[in-house]
Homo-oligomer: A and B are copies of this chain.
Amino acid sequence: MQALIDAIRSQGRGIGSEIVKVDSFLNHRLDTGLLFEMGQAFAQRYAGDKPDLVLTVEASGIALALATAHALGDIPVVFAKKAPAANQSGDMAEEKIYSFTHGHECHIRVDLRYIPAGAKVLIVDDFLANGEALRGLIAILKRAQAQLIGVGIAIEKGFQPGGQKIRAMGIPLLSLAVIEEIRDGHIRFQDTVQQ
């Protein structure tokens, strides 16, 4: 999506070969208009599949998920909570994921009462890199016996394997900006966004 690519170009900061900081419009300050544009892009792609809810992970996925849910006619959002490991109670599904960014494991947890069996679910998140958060969310959807209709990502790091894994599983994936390379502070994008 051109508006997102423009924002990354003008405000994003490439660090090393793997990190892009987008604190000024996506991860700390939110560009509200841009978020709703992104939400509309996901809605346009997935409205035909009639999702029942949008699933994401706190904290930075929440805004994008809400904007998407609004564009889909105010369907509910469920955000997985990041939490220390806990004894699993009957209704809670918990998955361990590894954060390459932060260099440690963390747990994400969803109350299964909020994901009805058979529900059609759209997953939305701000970043896709190694795909660990997605792997965890997909495992939780399996436990809920819900149906994943697709994934919407703001920024995919095309040089890391997450996107390829998701596509190889046959899951529809829309990434609004795909970064090909980060080098010397310069961010290069894929010419065509694969869907």
* Chain A positions near chain B (C-beta within 8 angstroms): 23-24, 28-33, 35-36, 58-59, 62-63, 65-67, 69-70, 74-79, 81, 110-111, 113-114
Contact = CB atoms under 8 A, between A and B. Distances in A.
Nearest to A58: B59
What number of copies of this chain does the assembly contain?
Answer: 2
Given A62-B62, A62-B63, A70-B70, 5 more contacts: A23-B114, A28-B111, A30-B79, A59-B59, A63-B66
B28 A69 contact: no
Contact of A69 (B24, B30, B111, B114): B30
17 contacts: A23-B111, A23-B114, A28-B78, A28-B81, A28-B111, A29-B76, A29-B78, A30-B62, A30-B66, A32-B66, A32-B70, A32-B74, A32-B76, A59-B81, A63-B63, A63-B66, A63-B77
A114 B36 contact: no
A48 to B, nearest CB: 19
Contacts of A74: 32-33, 36
Contacts of A29: 76-78, 111, 114
